[in-house]
Structure 1
């Protein structure tokens, strides 16, 4: 079309904000992108990462054609082939694996590279196809599952308060969340609350950029959050500020939980958390007398041995204070529990029972050559983002493992693939999204044609099904037909939200009240009551607290990368500079380390290289190194996941990225770093 055309879309990435964006297209080329100023949550702003999305989509290292490996696994050496050649080779290998080993020898490894309901993990893209083959189930436990499981046990759903209602709060606790880096749109609503006198407290092991902007920062020991919650509630009880009416009408297990609270006075909580007892008393008193209190707790808080329990106990705070009855009160972890799209993966297509393989156990699973014969990776980069990176790469190097990777860029995982299939980016395909940090559905309309021979996830599986001779009609549903299915659940929250409306307007708020107090009249549990943690199970200590050896490592989100997405963007790499590890001055002095010195961050699992940044932003005994680096673009060829154990959290088999001890060893050979386009 002549002239400029505005195309409405949505960010697909693993962030609670799921922004609405506007792409301006001129003569078939996307020339600009901005946040949608009409969207009530996006409010016209994108993050520093997504602001470079169009540039990223045109990157010189974009994968545009199917590829076949011609060098050793891990070498990243490929030759271009046609789609027909790729589909034929894949079909032959899949048939052979199913015939010889059974469909369960195939592991479809889907990640959070896209949260789309058509192209990504929320709708479990490709599941119908994998069901036809009888492939293993994939448990996507890497991100939020411990917290989700804990909240379901407590509230019946991970869905909590509407983040927009933070504007109504009198006290805001930003608990284990760096809002200005990971979901900065919430900050506008926090500012609205502050304008009305709200007090903001950041509870975080690191003094983040968010903690800098808060009224108070409590530097908690990693993984001890439930103990702090109990200590604060002890003060609430001492003040007589518990909401007895709400407790009697809407909770169960209160007397046992009350006894547990009384066993954790602020002095005991202080010994566990490292926060001074006076600070716990002060915040507890403020909590007791400030209605409403809003708590923001996101995924980093539950990546340790007691992560699920931490969310259970934190979610108990607004039940004791009665904040769940007030708009602007409660806990916001994920709004995903309020999304009721009809995801039909057609499990009836399975030929029989199948096993479930756990995402964070990839390394150990691949170590057994009889377990997995085909690994199919999409919307994921496990060589850069999964626990025990060394074990993962050792498994990927197996010559008998047939590995297919659907990707946009030559990641570390791509280097180990047998076949690489070029994947579209968000501006090149349709998708349907729901944020896990707000209450809107969003439609993504393609702005441009795909470059080269890139295909969407849905189209790739349609073509592969046809090549394998499958005839099940549901495998060939168009993207618009799939979207209509998703919107057909009949849930009241979707009344009036049609595909036509979404395509015209770009987004729609689900039908929830404004303001929204989801549990004011009860909870979606069997009894209709909130369930407090059982006696003796309100605090599960992190594994790292069981020894004093070494330093506790946490791997927070980087400001310039989103997981490993954008990890190859030259400008964002330049801004990120070399990998660093933040070290408290006392710990640096005890080890004779100086600012800028390169060290090996090491434990029994592995090691990675980073430069010391001596800083009081971390407390003694804690070190921090941001995640998101591609191993092959890092000194030493490894990132922080090299030292993360393959261990489960207490609930949901969640990951433990913030529950590992390390030591820092001066590095005689600092190594080099290979940026895209040169050293």
Structure 2
């Protein structure tokens, strides 16, 4: 029997799936051919979901720690014993230290609106410290919003009509594979594809041109492109006059960013920059697919802000096939009656999830005494892992982890609660890579004693005497509540709710060019000059000055970035043995010149290090990276690959906008492993 489902991983494609079930087991997973965006194919990772659900190492019963923290030594207990112990420790910590001594930690391990947010009401009622969930995209969001406003951007499918496509900091063939067919259709009709990225990844290999710029110099490149567009008058003057503000001030800033200056900063040739600008300025319908890479720098918000202004100079928005894509979707929203922010005491402390290491080891008044982790693996994904691990190892920290596998975080737990997979739960899914929504229902019953996250929080709420209605709602009731509270969104106008409830993908009411009738900025126009940024004490104009990792000075001469691995997604899919083995373990891409000066040869074990930590990896000596750049793809679990974990090298410093993490802004050194 084939059943419909939706991939819940943190990926813009949010694929519609068909799942083959026999005798209560998942046999096969494939793409839904009737899904307008998925169109019948999925990535190599998604095809391994049967192993994800039925893996031999899956946690299927509650566990209590019996050995030292981090040892991975546990004993089985019943659900009642586990929940009683968790509830008792929540009461103990709240009574002795105050409820803010409890910290929930979760993110996007499940992208459904019900289960991802199922703990919000519980922790608001408790009065626990509030988690500022900023670890991924807020810098990109803030930068884009400052220029073009909030809301969805150009639909990816529009790119099929473009004649000039820039993929800027997005490894499409790895992280957004369903966009690629639309780019190929454009190429078939004569379009050129340019990739801007610090290293030659699979997408760059398939491009017509690749600009291998230094990390963190994207804004400088964008300003130099603006310089050429203005200097050679490749502008839409009517659009600039009527639909933008601050152009004269922009011109004054752009004068200081000629291609020669940017070439030196970016590590590019001046001719490369001029050719890019002229191709963009003379294109019939230029299109930009912006990724998250440029925003994962200390000046990442400014980088995204600057890139986002380019379409306004040529009015790419009005040209079929032109525009810029950052994020799509936009409805349904999170239902306030499910989140219950009104239950949270006024003035409750907020903890930025980027600074978990600091929170667990240095925060006081009160210190964190209970960590409740779900839908995330912070021991691997949070920056400055050594400090995170030190915090997790505290014997006075009671840690609860709801998880499917023995992750690095789960190994530090006092209680592990076995979680149900997305194929064993129901939910409603919105997307950020296309404009469709879908409801999925369980295709099989939970394996063993695994339970959905919603059920777990409701059971804990009952033990703590929380009696609000939200703590008794079923999955279906939560889904209906989300639909009801999103009914006034213009994106939901005309949506076929009956088809949605049948599990079919349904398109939101979002035009392919959502900028047609204006921009959701304070002025209603494109803001070359942003008064809102000035009010925050930020530079109101684009600035291309790179901001580098300030720690360590000249001791660590190489840049280091940590982009996605083709077979992993954040730290997910490490649990699947066949995928884990195919990755071959962590590798670091090193330019031949860099390797030669350090006595490093192909395949040699090396140590990559800085003042925050170190990892071991195999050297991949290749011209696919720059001489001044190390590239470490993916997040390998240290507990399965000793010495792995690239976030040993990353910093807890916060970006210029969005309060997020600069994962690609690291200075490091590499040497042969003795």
**Does the alignment reach a TM-score above 0.5?**
yes
Secondary structure in 2 matching 1:449: coil
Secondary structure in 2 matching 1:185: helix
Matched, 1:358 2:352: yes
Secondary structure in 2 matching 1:436: coil
Among candidates 84, 87, 94, match of residue 91 of structure 1: 87
The Cα shift of 1:135 comes to 1.0
The Cα shift of 1:30 comes to 2.2
> What is the correspondence of 1:45-194 to structure 2 with a 5 Å cutoff?
45-120=41-116, 124-157=117-150, 159-194=152-187
* Residues 287 and 431 (structure 1), Cα distance of their counterparts in 2 relative to 1, 3 Å cut: same
Matched, 1:585 2:592: yes
> What is the correspondence of 1:333-482 to structure 2 with a 5 Å cutoff?
333-337=326-330, 340=333, 342-344=335-337, 345-368=339-362, 370-482=366-478
Secondary structure in 1 matching 2:520: coil
Among candidates 605, 611, 620, match of residue 604 of structure 1: 611
Deviates more, 1:297-306 or 1:552-561: 297-306
Matched, 1:663 2:669: yes
Residue 555 (structure 1) aligns with: 562
* Length-normalised TM-score, structure 1: 0.94
Cα deviation code 1:271-300 (max 9, x no counterpart): 111111001111111111113111111222
* Residues 66 and 498 (structure 1), Cα distance of their counterparts in 2 relative to 1, 3 Å cut: farther
Residue 244 (structure 1) aligns with: 237
Deviates more, 1:655-664 or 1:503-512: 503-512
> What is the correspondence of 1:35-50 to structure 2 with a 5 Å cutoff?
35-50=31-46
Matched, 1:651 2:657: yes
2:332 touches 2:482 (CA, 8 Å); kept in 1? no
Cα deviation code 1:560-602 (max 9, x no counterpart): 1111111132211221113111011111111121111111101
* Cα distance in 2 between the residues matched to 1:158 and 1:211: 29
Deviates more, 1:655-664 or 1:158-167: 158-167
- Count matched residues: 658
The Cα shift of 1:613 comes to 1.0
Cα deviation code 1:335-361 (max 9, x no counterpart): 155654545411111233211111110
2:103 touches 2:130 (CA, 8 Å); kept in 1? yes
Secondary structure in 2 matching 1:302: coil
Secondary structure in 2 matching 1:398: coil
* Cα distance in 1 between the residues matched to 2:53 and 2:220: 45
Secondary structure in 2 matching 1:68: strand
Among candidates 533, 542, 559, match of residue 547 of structure 2: 542
The Cα shift of 1:535 comes to 5.3
* Cα distance in 2 between the residues matched to 1:51 and 1:545: 42
The Cα shift of 1:256 comes to 1.1
Deviates more, 1:269-278 or 1:493-502: 493-502
Secondary structure in 2 matching 1:65: coil
Residue 625 (structure 2) aligns with: 618
Secondary structure in 2 matching 1:104: helix
* Residues 341 and 244 (structure 1), Cα distance of their counterparts in 2 relative to 1, 3 Å cut: farther
1:134 touches 1:352 (CA, 8 Å); kept in 2? no
The Cα shift of 1:24 comes to 1.9
1:134 touches 1:350 (CA, 8 Å); kept in 2? yes
* Cα distance in 2 between the residues matched to 1:540 and 1:649: 14
* Cα distance in 1 between the residues matched to 2:103 and 2:415: 15
Cα deviation code 1:23-43 (max 9, x no counterpart): 122333322211001111101
* Cα distance in 1 between the residues matched to 2:367 and 2:317: 46
* Cα distance in 1 between the residues matched to 2:462 and 2:7: 30
1:361 touches 1:646 (CA, 8 Å); kept in 2? yes
* Length-normalised TM-score, structure 2: 0.95
* Cα distance in 2 between the residues matched to 1:216 and 1:452: 51
1:423 touches 1:457 (CA, 8 Å); kept in 2? yes
1:374 touches 1:402 (CA, 8 Å); kept in 2? yes
* Residues 32 and 503 (structure 1), Cα distance of their counterparts in 2 relative to 1, 3 Å cut: farther
* Cα distance in 2 between the residues matched to 1:269 and 1:306: 16
Matched, 1:530 2:526: yes
Deviates more, 1:547-556 or 1:269-278: 547-556
* Residues 210 and 51 (structure 1), Cα distance of their counterparts in 2 relative to 1, 3 Å cut: same
Secondary structure in 2 matching 1:257: helix
2:528 touches 2:542 (CA, 8 Å); kept in 1? no
Cα deviation code 1:477-507 (max 9, x no counterpart): 1111111121122212112436542131421
Secondary structure in 2 matching 1:294: strand
Among candidates 499, 502, 505, match of residue 504 of structure 1: 502
> What is the correspondence of 1:326-337 to structure 2 with a 5 Å cutoff?
326-337=319-330
| Structure 2 unaligned spans of 5+ | 530-538
* Cα distance in 1 between the residues matched to 2:456 and 2:635: 27
Secondary structure in 1 matching 2:460: helix
Cα deviation code 1:389-426 (max 9, x no counterpart): 11000000111111100100000100000111110001
Deviates more, 1:233-242 or 1:74-83: 233-242
The Cα shift of 1:195 comes to 1.3
Residue 677 (structure 1) aligns with: none
* Cα distance in 1 between the residues matched to 2:547 and 2:275: 26
Among candidates 202, 206, 209, match of residue 195 of structure 2: 202
Cα deviation code 1:435-487 (max 9, x no counterpart): 11110102221100001111111111111111222111122111111111211
Deviates more, 1:245-254 or 1:394-403: 245-254
Deviates more, 1:387-396 or 1:584-593: 584-593
Secondary structure in 2 matching 1:628: coil
The Cα shift of 1:330 comes to 1.9
Deviates more, 1:406-415 or 1:589-598: 589-598
Deviates more, 1:320-329 or 1:530-539: 530-539
1:207 touches 1:617 (CA, 8 Å); kept in 2? yes
Residue 493 (structure 1) aligns with: 491
* Residues 92 and 338 (structure 1), Cα distance of their counterparts in 2 relative to 1, 3 Å cut: closer
* Cα distance in 2 between the residues matched to 1:207 and 1:384: 25
1:315 touches 1:330 (CA, 8 Å); kept in 2? no
Among candidates 211, 217, 223, match of residue 230 of structure 1: 223
* Cα distance in 2 between the residues matched to 1:619 and 1:599: 18
* Cα distance in 2 between the residues matched to 1:568 and 1:451: 16
Residue 567 (structure 1) aligns with: 574
2:599 touches 2:672 (CA, 8 Å); kept in 1? no
